[in-house]
Amino acid sequence: MNTLPLYRQLANHYLDAIRSGTLKTGERFPSIRLMMEKHAVSLSTAVQVCRELEGQGVLEARPRSGNYIRQPEPLPHPLPPAPQDVDAYVGIHQQVSSVLKASQRATIKVNFANPYCAAQLYPLKTLQDHMVKALRQNPQLLGTTAPTSGNLELRNILARRALTSKTHLNAEKIVITNGATEALNLALRAVTQPGDTVAVESPTFHGLLQILESLNLRVREVPATADYGINLFALEQLLRDPEPIRALIVMPNLQNPLGSIMPDSHKARLVQLCAEHATVLIEDDTYGDLVDTEQPLSTLKYWDHSDNLIYCASLNKTLAPGMRLGWISAGRWHDRVEMLKHSQSRGCEALSQLAVSAFMKTPSYERYLRRLRKILTQQRQQMRTAILRHFPQDTCVTEPRGGTLLWVELPPGFSSMRLFHEGLKVGIQILPGDIFSNGSGFGHYLRIACGAPFTPKIEEAVATLGQLLKNQA
């Protein structure tokens, strides 16, 4: 504990007091002044303690009244009701499907739903050249089936790169997948049975809710916040429930949609909690490489010493969305995942893997990533400023440390689903908060992506959205 900063030691101290019942729900929390006196800490440390506890969801600030203890409830969200006529049921997750379908039918001029970077930000020419070279060098490539687990050289490169984020992956136990989407499908299919319960962060990205419903899994949602990600206290409560939680899916670095990054101490504790409760931890590291830092953050996998974790990641967002390259490192479930991959879609096409390997081997790859991160940081700032300028007063926007996603909280009363439909009519696509949860708590949130360079056209689209919102009022 001595290596923890002072504020976190104190926060843990109070967490214990709340957990053990010494401080009870609804009671007033010691004031900043009291803490400064009792613990001989500075004002800023005392404030940090409160923030930490707020982030954990156990403290609630009431204006002009102080902080109060809160018992954060895990949000119980049963499976959406099963349709009466199975044959007539179209969508996999009706709400998500209907939003996707509506988007497909519309003519989109400005797409704020797309989480990818603009095509010109990717090293397309280089990748193309590597592809052509790979074709020339392997004349039999298209005539032979690819191995189920994927190209071994690429798996070696991925394993070596993971070392920079202190993550040890065994190349032999990596399986290349059709994006992180297939990786998550395989992870879930490997460790769950239909009807099992799986926990996710709330909010979480809509694609995951689709996957869970399509695999007949029950979902429990655990609150997460933009600062620290998943609320560990709420998670612990949930894991103590009699209903077993078979698996938990977490995005520790740049959570989608929150953009949150879990502090190392949280990562360590999360891994430990899951191991204690025999809940398999599934890590989705899709956005990790986009964190704007020279020092890669640790993964959950780094903290896992009991082989209780399945690691999933993807190159789709960082390198080339036109190549469906994800991967999974499933530890003790590797053989099973490999066989599931074989039975679900066989090995992925080899060409993209060869081209990407050739590029990732060169120093250009890290240079390219550094540049991409800088560009995105600027785009996020510009987009954030535009939203705050044009959207209704008291709109809040996250300030993530990387990636392409902003999570926008409108003042209560506004409807992002209404904005979504009105936006489609004028060719502007956003994603409404409702599809990021099976519950109804995110009706006034929306996700806005800023993977494209900020232009007057984009500013105008943001202004149009702002106007549509003001018409709602």
Q: Give the footprint of its own copies on this chain (CB under 8 A).
A: 86-87, 89-93, 97, 100-101, 114, 116, 118-120, 122, 124-125, 127-128, 131-132, 135-136, 139-146, 177-179, 181-182, 185, 189, 191, 193-195, 207, 210-211, 214, 216, 320-324, 332-333, 335-336, 339-340, 342-346, 348-352
Q: What is the DSSP letter of 473?
A: -
**Quick one: three-class SS letters along 236-297?**
HHHHHCCCCCCEEEECCECCCCCCCECCHHHHHHHHHHHHHCCCEEEEECCCHHHECCCCCC
Considering only CA atoms, which of 69, 72, 67, 65 is closest in space to residue 17? 69
Backbone angles phi, psi at 249, to 5 degrees: -110, 125
43-55 helix and 6-19 helix, angle to the nearest 10 degrees: 50
Cβ-contact 174, 328 below 8 angstroms: yes
Please give the Cα distance from 449 to 256 (Å, whole number). Answer: 11
Q: Which of residues 67 and 204 has its CB atom nearest to its own copies in the complex?
A: 204
Compute the CA torsion angle 395, 400, 404, 405 (nearest 10 deg): -40
Q: Which of residues 386 and 458 has its CB atom nearest to its own copies in the complex?
A: 458
Q: Which of residues 103 and 377 has its CB atom nearest to its own copies in the complex?
A: 103
Please give the Cα distance from 457 to 460 (Å, whole number). Answer: 5
Q: Minimum Å distance from CB 127 to its own copies? A: 5
Q: Minimum Å distance from CB 190 to its own copies? A: 9
Q: Which of residues 233 and 333 has its CB atom nearest to its own copies in the complex?
A: 333
Q: Which of residues 71 and 128 has its CB atom nearest to its own copies in the complex?
A: 128
Q: Is 189 helix (H, G, I), strand (E, B) or coil?
A: helix
Cis peptide before 257 (omega within 30 of 0): yes
Q: Minimum Å distance from CB 107 to its own copies? A: 15
Q: Which of residues 110 and 350 has its CB atom nearest to its own copies in the complex?
A: 350
Q: Which of residues 48 and 353 has its CB atom nearest to its own copies in the complex?
A: 353
Q: Minimum Å distance from CB 189 to its own copies? A: 7
Backbone angles phi, psi at 385, to 5 degrees: -60, -45
Q: Minimum Å distance from CB 346 to its own copies? A: 5
Q: Minimum Å distance from CB 262 to its own copies? A: 26
Q: Which of residues 34 and 119 has its CB atom nearest to its own copies in the complex?
A: 119
Please give the Cα distance from 421 to 27 (Å, whole number). Answer: 43
Cβ-contact 285, 252 below 8 angstroms: yes
Q: Minimum Å distance from CB 40 to its own copies? A: 49
User: What does the longest C-alpha to C-alpha distance in the chain come to?
Assistant: 76
Q: Minimum Å distance from CB 213 to its own copies? A: 8
Q: Minimum Å distance from CB 369 to its own copies? A: 16
Considering only CA atoms, which of 168, 177, 170 is closest in space to residue 149? 177
Considering only CA atoms, which of 10, 19, 70, 76 is closest in space to residue 45? 10
* Bridge-based pairing state of the strands 405-409 and 396-397: antiparallel
Q: Which of residues 87 and 394 has its CB atom nearest to its own copies in the complex?
A: 87
* Cα dihedral sign, 222-223-226-228: negative
Q: Minimum Å distance from CB 435 to its own copies? A: 13
Q: How many residues does the chain have?
A: 473
Q: Which of residues 138 and 385 has its CB atom nearest to its own copies in the complex?
A: 138
